[in-house]
Amino acid sequence: MENDHRLPLISVVIPVYNEEENLPTLYDRLKRVCQELEGKADVELIFVNDGSSDGTAGILRKLAGRDARVVLVNLSRNFGSHPALMAGFSEARGDYIWTISGDLQDPPELLPEYFNMARSRELDVVWGCRRSRVDPWHKKLFASIFYFWIRMLTDLPIPRKGVDNFMMSRRVVEILLKIPEKNTMFYYIIMWMGFRQDFIDYDRGARLAGVSKWTFRRRLKNAVDTLLTFSSFPIQLISYMGMLFFLLSVIFALYLILNYLVGEPSPGWTSTALIISLATGIQMLMLGIIGAYLWRIMDQVRGRPQVIVREVYRSAQETTSEDTPLKVT
Predicted local distance difference test score (pLDDT) of residue 213: 56
H-helix segments, 121-232:
137-153, 170-178, 186-193, 216-230
Q: What is the band of 326 on the pLDDT scale with cuts at 50, 70, 90?
A: very low
Overall average pLDDT of the 289-313 stretch = 75
Share of the chain above pLDDT 70, in %: 64
Read off the pLDDT of residues 42-90 as tens digits, 9 standing for 90 and up.
889 999 988 888 888 888 888 888 888 888 888 888 888 788 888 889 8
* Class of residue 45 by CB neighbours under 10 A (exposed 0-12, middle 13-18, buried 19+): buried
Predicted local distance difference test score (pLDDT) of residue 13: 92
The closest alpha carbon to 74, from 313, 303, 251, belongs to: 313
Is residue 8 over pLDDT 70?
yes
Overall pTM surpassing 0.75 (yes/no): no
Q: Is 7 helix (H, G, I), strand (E, B) or coil?
A: coil
The closest alpha carbon to 163, from 124, 123, 191, 196, belongs to: 191
To the nearest 5 percent, what fractions of the chain are helix, strand and coil? 50, 20, 35
Read off the pLDDT of residues 18-29 as tens digits, 9 standing for 90 and up.
888 888 888 889
Average pLDDT of the chain, as a whole number: 75
CATH architecture of the domain 9-230+305-328 equals Alpha-Beta Complex (3.90)
Is residue 2 over pLDDT 50?
no
Give the least confident one: 8-17, 140-149, 262-271.
262-271
Domain boundaries, the chain: 9-230+305-328, 233-301
Q: How far apart are CA 104 and CA 25, in angstroms?
A: 9
